[in-house]
Structure formats: structure tokens, C-alpha cells
Amino acid sequence: MLHLDTGNTGFMLLCCSLVMLMTPGLAFFYGGLVGRRNVLAIMMQSFVSMGWTTVIWYAFGYSLCFSGGEGGVIGNLDMAFMRNITLTTPSPNDTIPLIVFMAYQMMFAIITPALITGAFANRVTFKAYLIFLTLWLVLVYFPFVHMIWGGGVLQKWGVLDFAGGIVVHNIAGIAALAAVLYVGPRRFKDKGPHSIPLVALGTGLLWFGWYGFNAGSEFRVDSTTATAFINTDLAASFAAVTWMAVDWITTRKPKFLGLLTGAVAGLATVTPAAGFVSPTSAVVIGIVSGLVCYLAVALKNRLNWDDALDVWGVHGVGGFLGIVMLGVLATKAFNPAGADGLLAGNASFFYKQCAAVLLSSAWAFIFTLVMLWLIDRFTPVRVTESHEQVGLDEALHGEAAYIDIEVA
């Protein structure tokens, strides 16, 4: 039965709006990082997810994630096309309507596959991307939402993920790595980010929206909500400063782009732990994520993986690290509904977190490779050399981000 709380409902509508804003923020972030001839193509990949993922979510996505299938891998179609959902249908938190919960979770579904696009920037056809977006949601994203948040097997086992360390960042980042290895390197690499101010704008929108992403995942207004909020800011800030410091030491100059990338790494890493750890632990997570994700990007460069916008190093590694650190640092002192981690004497919880993130990494990697191979049998995944040279804005979409300006 629904026991409507207008404060909780209003707060969740606000958080829903904040998470929605993250997808345009991601579009700006990625758009600034690529060259002038590919700005619109990569931004469109984020924006089209807002439309197409919403269609899928309404048709059957929400139902597969949150309807039936208790203790399993995927749900059923009882709530397809919002069937059986009325004004008084309660959500898992019975103080907010199910319609609000459905909308909030939809915003997560929109941004998760969009994260992957930064890895194969400038290389993938739009038709193949739309097919990939659809299949990836059905075969990777929906199962992990159900398994961890929808009453599935991992949730029943005791795995925790406050706002998407596995469900969002780890599986998207590992899928990005698989896509990079399948598609191959760019034939014509960008000379560098064409607009760092655009990256800064995107980072600001992402950081702002992330408060709704993490604090909203408590689904009510209480002390845990406040803890998740401050933990989000602490981890992002410490990670940003750590990344900048390491950059400064290694290149002899403090890089603005490093500061921005470090902030996103901290945000991604604290996401699974935001509502389950203390603020001091969030500081530790921020420092560790700034250092480890920096090293992951350096490793990627050394191995010549053309992950164009460092999706694996920031989101894949960050999500993995966040889940593992949650297993170490979790404490019921800051969330009685959570768990105690390794430092609090609960080794079994730590092992469960590690096992779950290893499973999610393997699942995302294998399914992504198989999907891309299958799509390639029906329509080319990779653009032609001539299209890549001209730039995807003109070649695929017949548009240009900057008119009457010499392109780089």
C-alpha cells in the first residue's frame, strides 16, 4: 500500500531531474574531448539514448528489471508498457509512487550505455550503435539491475551496490574495453581535446547531477541521504586533487584536464559505497581512485589500447575499485541497513563483493564482444576509412558543430 510522503516524493523527482541532466553533461564532456569533426556524432550518441532507452524502458525494460524473477537473473513482463501500474502503486519504498521510482531508474538506464561511447569515439556507425545500445541494455544492463537491485540472485546473496558501481560504471567500463579491442584503433587520431572548456562544462553538470545519482539512491530523505551527498563531494574533490598532483609531478605542470578527469574518477568510484561508508572512508576512496585510475590510464596508453576517452580507466577500473573498497570499508555505523566490511571483521562480505565484480566484469566483456561480432554480420560496426577521415559529423549526419571555422 502507498503511504505517500510528499517530501520524499518531491526529493526523488528532483533527483530524477538531476540524473537526467547527467546525460547532456556526459555529451558535453565527451564532445569537448574529441576533435571538431566528431563533436556532434559523439554528443548524439548520448542524446539518442535519452530517447531510445526511454522507449525500451517503457515497453519492457523496467519490467525485466523490477518485476518478478525473485532470486534469479532477469524479471518478467508483468509490468510491460506500464501495465498494472496505477497512481497508488507503491515502489520498493512505499512512501513514493512506483511511477517516480520507475522514472528515476530510467535515468540510470539512459546514461549507462552512453558511457561506453567514449571508448570507440570517431569509429562506429550510427546504425550499429543503435543496435548495440538495444542489445547491450537487454543482455547486460537489465540482468545486473535485476540481480543487484531488483530482488535477483546477487541481492539475495548479500551483494551491495548503493548507486551503481557494478550496475553502471563497472559493466560500462569493461564493455568499453571489449569494444576498443574489437573495433580497433582510430586511423586518424585527434590532435587532442578540441575544447577543454566544454569538458569543464560537462564535468560541472556531471558533478552536480551526481548528487541526485548517489543521494537519491536512498529513496528517502534521512541521515544516510546526507551521508551519501557529502561522501560524493569528498571523494570527487580528493580524487581531483590527487590526479592533478600526480599529473603535476609527472609532467611538471598542473593540468586542468587532469583535475576534471580525476573528479569523474572519484565520482565513479564512490558511487557504490556512497551510502554505506563514513566520510573519512570517502576521503580514502577519493585519494585511492585518483591514483589508481591515473595509473590505469597510463597502463592503457602503454598497451596502446585506443580507449579514446578513457572509459575503461575511469569507469571500469573506478567501478571495480569502488565495489572492492566497499567490501573493505562498509560500516553499519553509517547505514544500519548496509553491512560491515573487512575492516569491521566481516570478511565474507568482502569476498562476496569481489566475486560479484569479477562476475560482472567477465559478463560485460564477453557479451559485448559477442554482440559486436553478431552486429558486424548484418551491418558494418566500423565506419569506412574515408568517413573517418572526413569526420563523422559530416559523413554520418551531414552536420557541422562549427560553421565557417577551419577544422582540425
Block means of pLDDT (10 residues each) for the chain, 408 residues, are 94 98 98 96 97 98 96 96 92 95 98 96 96 98 98 97 98 98 93 94 98 97 97 98 97 96 98 98 98 97 94 98 98 96 97 98 98 97 95 94 65
* 8 Å CB contact between 296 and 261: no
* pLDDT score, position 67: 96
* pLDDT score, position 404: 61
* pLDDT score, position 34: 96
Is the residue at 48 inside a domain? Answer: yes
Check which CATH number belongs to the domain holding 161 and give it.
1.10.3430.10
Q: Which three cell numbers stand for residue 196?
A: 577543454
Total number of domains in the chain: 1
Is the residue at 47 inside a domain? Answer: yes
Is the residue at 203 inside a domain? Answer: yes
* pTM confidence score: 0.96
Pick from 154, 127, 116: which is nearest to 368 by CA? 116
Q: Name residue 352's amino acid.
A: K
Residues 6 or more apart in contact with residue 43 via CB below 8 angstroms: 27, 28, 30, 31
Is the residue at 338 inside a domain? Answer: yes
* pLDDT score, position 1: 87
Is the residue at 349 inside a domain? Answer: yes
Whole-number Cα distances in Å, 6 to 16, 85, 225, 366: 15, 19, 16, 44
CA distance 332 to 324: 17
* 8 Å CB contact between 318 and 293: yes
* pLDDT score, position 80: 96
* pLDDT score, position 408: 46
CA distance 145 to 252: 43
* Measured torsion, CA atoms of residues 370, 268, 338, 343, in degrees rounded to the nearest 10: 100
Range of the domain at 231: 6-397
Is the residue at 194 inside a domain? Answer: yes
- Cβ-count burial 156-189 (b if 16+ within 10 Å, e if not): eeebbbbbbbbbbbbbbbbbbbbbbbbbeeeeee
Q: Which three cell numbers stand for residue 393?
A: 559529423
In the block, residue with C-alpha cell 609532467: 251
Is the residue at 403 inside a domain? Answer: no
Is the residue at 364 inside a domain? Answer: yes
